[in-house]
Structure 1
Amino acid sequence: MSRWWYLAAPALPLLLPQAIWVKRTALRLPDAQQPWQGLVTAPDGSRDRPLKLLLVGESTVAGVGVERQEQALTGQLASQLAQQLGRPVQWQAAGRNGAVAADCLQDLLPPALAQRWDIALIVLGVNDTTHLTSRPRWRRTLQCLIEQLGRCSGQVMLTEVPPLGHFRALPQPLRGWFGLRAGLMDADLRRVAHSCGARYLSLDMPFEPGYLARDGYHPSAAGYQQWAAGIVRQLSSSTF
């Protein structure tokens, strides 16, 4: 039995009703509109030899919180990388609202494996935290994702599991419990990334109203912009 169960069991009579209430009352925002792929030209207008960027993951890869993928994490990251590197970026988002890691492995990843990518970024953790995915299964699935992406990608990267303890749309004590579990899931993600030769990227985004969408849960366009900027800051030209 996991450590999470021992920590959560005394509070279950309060946590369960809160979780049910959040699920029933949460504002549900749509995915970003299609297309979910595109090309950002280089600052000089060039389209030659683009960096190929793939994002795989949950609702933030689906662009929930904004209208278009260009405003979401994938599009923002592609745009900022094009500016930083002075070269075009061809991008694709493979995301699903509500996806856990196993969904990505089974459904979202296979179509992307037929292409070659310079960077493949895995963005997961919120749903595996809230759906109580077991930590051994979480680690195994992450390892499989990294291994499969490694066969078609120059560099596999993973973002930090978002700190659910900062999600103000969640009531206390549910927010605190999910925050604790997200920290454990992130520690697992960091260890798996290190053991598999993938790169771990911290999530550098303020969880304040101006950076959140109307649901108070997903990033706004400003939030995605900050998140992408934090990723670019952690990368160097030697990565490419």
Structure 2
Amino acid sequence: MSRWAGLMWWAAAVPLLPLALPLAVRTRRTALRLAPAAGVCEGVAGTERTGAPFRLLLLGESTVAGVGASCLDFALAGRLAVALSARLGRPVAWRAVGENGITAGEACERLLPVTADQDYDLVALVFGVNDTTHFSSSQRWRGALTQLIEHFRKRGARVVCTAVPPLQHFIALPWLLRQLLGWRAALLDRQLGALAQAQGAGYCEVSLEMQPQFLAIDGYHPSALGYQIWGEHLAEWLVQPLSTKAAPGAHSPS
């Protein structure tokens, strides 16, 4: 986010705080809270296929933890692994390391150490919703993502960043909060795309039309159908010829 764009957001948001803050407090108090998906956090898709398994890691916030799905097989990790296996023609060994409510900066401290025991062919970073709602500074957002990207690229992985989800479509939020947070999410997303390109990572923008059935009953996280559509979209983007991309690399909500 450019300094000017950030200042514009604050200039618009500050006068609305007397309205927005009570809405935020009430929403936090009354929101339906869903648990992370059940089951183990890793698996293998496409076991009927031959060849060495493609190693996939998803690192991120509540969507990586599978909130909104019954188990991780039906969340982003499992759906993406199945879709990638079908397109690559080989098994995909996936692992999901996610935490509900975590920011990118917190992930550097708490999630990176969990992944130190293994190398991966592809790492998908799924962040943005919590950095939006926690008002992470532009500097902290960029710094955390840079650390994550550099860490996995140094270990030989292809790194892709999923786009910051469009919070203006999260029906659990009152209209005013949707507009303010959607605007801020778009600013962080613009910065994410530029940073990914500069760091040699991939970035997959949101190109799906948001529909109510893509959201879980909490109106905030993806539904099983939402995860399926997202996983298919991301897999299709990932296997496109690299020559069609600005950088080797991938998208999201949280």
Task: Please say whether Structure 1 and Structure 2 have the same fold, judged by a TM-score greater than 0.5.
Answer: yes
TM-score normalized with structure 1 length = 0.94
| Worse-matched range after superposition: 25-34 or 150-159 | 150-159
SS in 1 for 2:159: strand
- Once the 2 structures are TM-superposed, how far is the Cα of residue 229 of structure 1 from its aligned partner? 1.0
Residue identity in the other structure for 1:27: L
Q: Does residue 97 of the first structure (1) align with residue 100 of the second (2)?
A: yes
Residue identity in the other structure for 1:117: Y
Q: Does residue 28 of the first structure (1) align with residue 72 of the second (2)?
A: no
Partner of 1:56: 59
What is the distance in 1 between the residues matched to 2:34 and 2:66?
10
> For residues 215-230 of structure 1, what are the structure 2 equivalents within 5 Å?
215-230=218-233
Q: Of residues 18, 22, 25 in structure 1, which corresponds to 2:23?
A: 18
- Structure 2 unaligned residues grouped into runs of 5+: 243-247, 249-254
- The 1:237–1:50 alpha-carbon spacing in structure 2 relative to 1, beyond 3 Å, is farther
> For residues 69-88 of structure 1, what are the structure 2 equivalents within 5 Å?
69-88=72-91
Q: Of residues 154, 157, 175 in structure 1, which corresponds to 2:157?
A: 154
SS in 2 for 1:114: coil
- Once the 2 structures are TM-superposed, how far is the Cα of residue 9 of structure 1 from its aligned partner? 0.6
SS in 2 for 1:75: helix
Partner of 2:245: none
- Once the 2 structures are TM-superposed, how far is the Cα of residue 204 of structure 1 from its aligned partner? 4.0
What is the distance in 1 between the residues matched to 2:73 and 2:198?
33
Give the conservation status (yes or no) of the 8 Å contact 1:95–1:108.
yes
Residue identity in the other structure for 2:27: V
- Once the 2 structures are TM-superposed, how far is the Cα of residue 236 of structure 1 from its aligned partner? 2.2
SS in 2 for 1:228: helix
Q: Deviations over 1:40-93 (max 9, x none)?
A: 125xx1364100000000000000001110000010000111111110000000
Which aligned segments of 4 or more residues in structure 1 are displaced greater than 4 angstroms? 237-240
TM-score normalized with structure 2 length = 0.89
Give the conservation status (yes or no) of the 8 Å contact 2:58–2:95.
yes
What is the distance in 2 between the residues matched to 1:236 and 1:26?
38
Give the conservation status (yes or no) of the 8 Å contact 1:101–1:124.
yes
Give the conservation status (yes or no) of the 8 Å contact 1:31–1:65.
yes
> For residues 74-153 of structure 1, what are the structure 2 equivalents within 5 Å?
74-153=77-156
Give the conservation status (yes or no) of the 8 Å contact 1:61–1:95.
yes
What is the distance in 2 between the residues matched to 1:47 and 1:68?
26
- Once the 2 structures are TM-superposed, how far is the Cα of residue 232 of structure 1 from its aligned partner? 1.5
What is the distance in 2 between the residues matched to 1:225 and 1:153?
28
Partner of 2:184: 181
Q: Deviations over 1:4-31 (max 9, x none)?
A: 3222111010111111111111100000
Q: Of residues 23, 31, 49 in structure 2, which corresponds to 1:46?
A: 49
What is the distance in 2 between the residues matched to 1:133 and 1:213?
26
What is the distance in 2 between the residues matched to 1:212 and 1:153?
35
- Structure 1 unaligned residues grouped into runs of 5+: none
What is the distance in 2 between the residues matched to 1:10 and 1:32?
39
SS in 2 for 1:162: coil
- The 1:153–1:29 alpha-carbon spacing in structure 2 relative to 1, beyond 3 Å, is farther
Give the conservation status (yes or no) of the 8 Å contact 1:205–1:223.
no
Percent identity, aligned pairs only, is: 45
What is the distance in 2 between the residues matched to 1:27 and 1:152?
39
Residue identity in the other structure for 2:117: A
Q: Does residue 232 of the first structure (1) align with residue 235 of the second (2)?
A: yes
Residue identity in the other structure for 2:59: V
- The Cα RMSD (Å) is 1.6
Q: Of residues 167, 170, 175 in structure 2, which corresponds to 1:172?
A: 175
SS in 1 for 2:58: strand
